[in-house]
Amino acid sequence: MTKRNFTALLITLLACSISTFTRAGGLQVGTEAPYFKVKSGAGDEVTLNMAKDKIVVIFYETKEVAEQNRKLKSQLNISYHELADSQKAFIVRLPVINCSSAFWPITAIWKSRLRENSLREGLTIYGDWDGNLLSAYRLKDKESNVVIIDRKGIIRYFASGKIENDEISRIKVLLKELIYNQ
Model confidence at 148, pLDDT cuts 50, 70, 90, reads very high
Q: How many CB atoms lie within 10 A of CB 102?
A: 17
As a whole number of angstroms, the distance between CA 179 and CA 175 comes to 6
Domain residue extents for the chain: 27-180
Q: Cα angle vertex 13, ends 9, 14, to 5°? A: 115
As a whole number of angstroms, the distance between CA 115 and CA 124 comes to 8
- Residue 24: Cβ-neighbour burial (10 angstroms; 0-12, 13-18, 19+): exposed
For 51-85, the DSSP string reads: GTTSEEEEEEE-GGGTTTTHHHHHHHHHHHHHS-H
Q: Region 40-59: what's the mean pLDDT?
A: 95
Report, at the CATH architecture level, how domain 27-180 is classified.
3-Layer(aba) Sandwich (3.40)
Q: Region 55-81: what's the mean pLDDT?
A: 93
> Per mean pLDDT, which range of 7-16, 113-122, 148-157 is the poorest?
7-16
pLDDT at 15 over 80: no
pLDDT at 63 over 60: yes
pLDDT at 58 over 60: yes
Mean per-residue pLDDT of the chain: 86
pLDDT at 111 over 70: yes
Q: Region 133-160: what's the mean pLDDT?
A: 95
